[in-house]
Amino acid sequence: MEGAPVTAATGVLGPVVVKLGALLGSEYKLQRQTLKDIKFIKSKLKFVHSILWAIWGKETLDAQSKELKKEALDLADDMQDAIDDFILTMEPSHRNKHLKIQIKIQASPFQDFKTRVDDVSARCRSKWKIKPAERVCSLYSTKRAESSTPSKLPPHRAPFVCKNASEIIGMGRWREDLITYLVGEGSTMAQPQFKMASIVGMGGVGKTTLASLVYEEIGNKFQSRAFVSVTPTANMKEVLTSILHQVGAELPAGTKARTEEDIIHTISNFLEDKRYLVVIDDIWHHGEWEIISKSVPQNNLGSRIVMTTRIDSVSDDIDYNKLCIRMNPGWSFEEERWFYGHHVQDFTAWMKPDMVGEGFDRDHPIVRMCGGVPLALLCMFSAMRMVREQQELGVHVKACVVQDMIEKQVKQSGIQNTPGFEPLVESFQLGYTNLPHHMLKTCLLYCSVYPENYPFCMNDLVMRWVAEGFTYKVDVAKDYLKELGNRGFMLHMKDSSGMPYYQMNPMMQNFLRWKAREDNFITCSSDIALAYACRIHRLCIDGYQVDDGEVQVVDTLFELDWSQIRSLVVFEGAKRYVPFEKLERVRVLDLHYHHHHYLEFLKSYWNPFGDFGFEALANQHVKDICGLLRVRHLFGLEGIGISEIPPEIARLQHLETLQVRFTSITELPSEIRDLQQLKTLVVSQNQKLAELPREIGDLQQLETLDLMSCTRLTGLPREIGNLQNLENLNLHWTMLKELPLEIGKLQHLKTLDIGSNSITRLGNEIEDLHHLETLDLSYNRGLTQLPREMWKLQNLKRLLLNGTGVVKIPREIGGLKKLEILKLDDTIGALPWEASQLSKLEGVPECVRQAWKKSELMSCELAGEILSIRLVNRAIDRGGLIVGTKHMQIPQWIKEHFNDLGSLDIRICKLEERDVKILQEMLNLENLTLRFDAIPRKPIAISGEGFPRLNRLVVDCRLPRVVTFQEGAMPKLGILRFEFQFYGGPPPAANKGDPRLGVKHLRCLFLVEFRCSEEWYGGAAESSPCMSAMIDVVRKEAREHPKKIYFRVTGRKE
C-alpha cells in the first residue's frame, strides 16, 4: 500500500496512518465498533506523526524524549502487524470481489491499542508544544522549511582554512591550473574576457583553502577584490554588504541601502570599469548566485569570479566560460585506498615526521579512513596531540600506539565524540542539515550501516530503499541517489571497465553511522551492549571490528528477541548468528554473506562467464526462509550451495521482491506462479539456469524481471507476453538470438536491455512497445539494421547502439522527440541534421541548438544544405558539424553561427586567406577535415596565428601539397592525415618550387598518415608516383623534427 514513507523521524507511523485510512474506505466493510476504534487511533497517530516529523533535527532529545519517541515507533510497528493480521482474517464478499468483510463474530482487534495510543499521544502533546502552523499537513512533505531546517542553528564558525599549504601536498596542481586559467602563464593578465572558475567537492577536501591560497597570490593584480563566504541560511544583504566594503565601493553620501537592489546597483556601477576578482565561498543554492551575479558586471576587462560549492548542480547551472576543479577524493580498486588530487597514493606519504611523531604508521586503518579528505587527516593529527596531552604520554610512546587509541575511539563513539575532530564534524553536519527533506536523510542514514568502502550499484540500492518503504517509486529513489551524489555524500565512481557505481568516504560513513545511532534508526550488532533491553525492529548484523580484530557480536545477539525484528540486514561472516526460524515478523531480509564476491564480479564485469562460485547459503537455509510467512522482500539468496528453489517458496504469499543470484539452480519451480504479489524477480548471474518455466506468465503483478548474465539462457517462453504490468526486462549477457513475437504484448514495458547477446534482427513488434523509455542493443555484433518501426517509439529516452554493426542512423531519428541519451560507436561518423532538433538529446552542440531557434537562418542560409552533426563527447571534443554540400569557400554562416564547434568536416573548392582566418578564430576547434573538390593552384600557408586547440587535421585532396605550415603554426596539432579519393597525377616537377610542407614547424606533431582509395589505388598509397614522392619529402622533413614522428601509410607497415 503506497502513501507516506518510512523515515528515521517517524518510523512506520506514516504508512500505518495511511493503512488505517484505507480501512475506512470503500474496499472494506467493518463493524461499527471497529470503525470507531480505527478513527480514534488514526486521529491520535496522525498527531504523533506530525509532532515527530516537526521536531526531528530541530532539537537535541534528552534521554526521556528519546524513550518516548522509541515507544511511539514501537507502537507503530505493533500496529502495522495488527492491521496486516486483521486484513488476513477478513472474507471476500460474494457479491463484490473487490470488497472484504469483517467476520461478524470477531470483536474489534484494535481495542487494546486504544489505551496505548491515547497514552503515547497525550505524553507527546505534553512533551512537545508544537504550534499548529508548525505541524506537517502532508505525511510525506518534501518542503525544506518545515522538515529539515533546525529552529536554531548552532553558531557557524569561520570556514576552516589550512594556512600552511605544505601540509596539503596534493593541492599544488589544482592551484597552478587555477592561477594559469585566471591570470595566464607567468601570472600576466593577457586575457581581457570575463572568466569564471568553480571549485567543487564534498566537505573537508580543501575548497576554501585552495580558493584562499589563489586569492592571496593573485589578488594584487586586480583593481578591486573581495572574498565572501555564504552559508546555507545566509543573509544575502549581509553578503552583498561585505562585497561592497571589500571592493572599495561606497554608497552615495547621505543615503542608506534599504534593499538588496540598492546594494547590487551600487556594486555594479562601481565595478563596471574595473578589473576585479571576487571569490564566493561555499554557495549552496543557485538562487544565491543569481543574486550575487547581478552585482558583478561582465565587463571584459580581465575580471574574474571564483566560486566554491559542495553541490555539483550549482556549478553546472552556470553558463559562463569557466574552469571547474573537482576535488572529491578518488578510490583505487587496485590499491584499495582513497587518494587525493592527482596522487594515487595518499598524501600522508609526504608528511613530515615532526608533525606526527616517531613510529607513525601511514598504512594504519585510521589513516585509511581519513584518506582523500585533508581535513580529516589534520583532525586526526589534532586528536593525536590531544591524546598525548590528556594522558600525559611520553615522547617514547610511538605514534602508532596513539593511532590505535584514536581508531578505537572513532569506531566506538564516532567522530562526533572524538576530541580533535570538531571541524570535520561541523563541516559534515552543515551538509547533512541542509538536505532538503526527511526522506533524503533517511536514505542516507540507511547507507551508513554498510561495510567501509562498499560499492553501491544504483539498481541494488534503490531496490532496498523501496523495500524499506523510504519511497515507493524506483524513479524517485534514483533521483534521491543522484541528489546525494550531487551533494557529495555518495561519490560517483567508475570501475576499471567504466561501469558506474557509488561509494561513501569512510569518515562520512562514520559520521552518519552515529547519526543513525542517535536516532535509534538502525541498530548495528557491534553497537549492542550486553543485556540489551530494548526491542529491536531494524537490525544490521555487521562485522565492525573494534578491539584487536575481534568481532563483538556473539554474546549480545544471544539476548535478542528475534521475533520483534521487522528488517534484518546481514553482512559477511555473520551467518552463524541468524536463527531464521525465529524471525516471525520480519518483512525485509537482506543477506550479504559474501559481498566481496560481488566486488570481484564488479571488477570483472566485462567477463560474465567468469567463475564467481562461492558458498553462502545451502538448500536447507532456503527452506527455513520459506517459513517466514510475513516476509515481503527477500534479498541475497546467493551461493553455489543453493541448487534449487524449493516448492515451499509458494508459502510466501506476501513476497514482493525475490533476489536469487550466483547459485547453482538450473530452473525455477512451477510453484513460482503462486507468488501473486511478486513485483521484482532478480535471478541474475545464475550461470546454470537454462530456461524459465511457463508459469512465469502467471505473475500478473511483476514489474521487474532481471536475468542478466544467465549465460545458458537461450530463449524466453511465449507466456512472457502475459506480464501486462512488466516495466523492466533485463536480458543482458544471456545467449538470446531473437526475441519472441510476444514481446510486443508488453504494453507497459519501459526498459528493455538485450545488450551483449547474439541478436541479429529486431522484429517489427518493437513498435508496439509504446511506453518504452530505454532500449539497450549494445554489443550485438551481428545486428546491422534497425526496423523503421523503431523510430516511432515516442517515449524513448535512451538508446544504446555501441558495439553493434549499425553504421548509419536514418533521418527518422528526428521523430524520437523525447530522446535524451544516444550511445554510438566511431563507425557511425555522424547523425543526420534532423537529430539536432531533439531538444532533450544530450551532446548536441550548443551552437547547433541555437541555430534551430533562428528561423531566418534555417529558412535562408541553411536551406538546401546537406548537414550532419557529431555529438559532444566530454572526453574527446565539443561536438561538430559535417557540411556535405560543396562550397567554393568556407561559408560566412560558419563564422557567424558555428564558431564554437569542436570539429568541422567541410567540402570546398579552394582555401584562401579569408577562409583560413575564419578557421583560426574558431578557438575550440580540435578536429578539422578539409575536403577539396578542385586542385588548388598553389598551396595556402598556415601562419602561427590561431588554431589554439587544433589536435587533428585531415586533408582530402588529389594532391597532398595544398597547405604548408609556417613557424608556430597549429601549436597543438598532433595528427596530420592526408586522404586521396581520386587519381593524384604524376609526381611534381623538379622546377615547380619547394615541395616541402613545413612539418618541422608543427611542434606537437607525432603522427603523419597517408590513406588512399581502394578503388583507385588498390589500397596501396605508394602505388601513386605523386604520393610516393610526397611521402619521401615528408619523411625527410620528419627527420629534422625535434620529436619522433610516426608514419602510417595505407598498404604498408612502418
Please report the DSSP string for 859-877 in residue order: IIITTT--EEEE--BTTTB
The torsion defined by the Cα of 60, 66, 69 and 71, in degrees rounded to 10, comes to 180
**pLDDT for 359:** 79
Question: What is the β-pairing status of strands 567-571 and 903-908?
Answer: unpaired
CB contact set of 595 (below 8 Å; sequence gap of 6+): 451, 454, 571, 572
Average pLDDT over residues 247-274: 85
Q: 496 falls in which pLDDT band (50, 70, 90)?
A: low
Q: Which domains does the chain have, with CATH numbers?
A: 13-147 (no CATH), 165-326 (3.40.50.300), 330-423 (no CATH), 856-1049 (3.80.10)
Tell me the CB-side half-sphere exposure of residue 138, using CA atoms within 13 A.
11
C-alpha cell at 49: 506523526
Residue linked to cell 570546398: 908
Q: Does 689 score more than 90 pLDDT?
A: yes
Range picked from 34-38, 283-287, 911-915 for highest mean pLDDT: 34-38
**pLDDT for 922:** 92
Q: Which of 125-139, 148-162, 737-751 has the lowest mean pLDDT?
A: 148-162
Contact (CB, 8 A) for 703 and 723: no
Give the distance from CA 465 to its chain's centroid.
16
**pLDDT for 550:** 46
Q: Which of 57-66, 566-575, 668-677, 959-968 has the lowest mean pLDDT?
A: 566-575
Q: 633 falls in which pLDDT band (50, 70, 90)?
A: very high
Per-residue buried b or exposed e for 687-717, using 16+ beta carbons within 10 Å of the residue's own CB: bebebbbebbbbbeebbbbbbbbbbebebbb
**pLDDT for 131:** 57
* Greater model confidence, 908 or 527: 908
**pLDDT for 937:** 77
**pLDDT for 371:** 87
**pLDDT for 150:** 42
Please, what is the average pLDDT of the chain?
85
**pLDDT for 355:** 56
* Greater model confidence, 311 or 358: 311
**pLDDT for 188:** 47
C-alpha cell at 87: 486484513
Taking the whole predicted model, whether its pTM rises above 0.95 is answered as: no
CB contact set of 1031 (below 8 Å; sequence gap of 6+): 1010, 1021, 1022, 1047, 1049
**pLDDT for 918:** 94
Percentage, residues of the chain above pLDDT 90: 57
d(CA 735, CA 944): 56
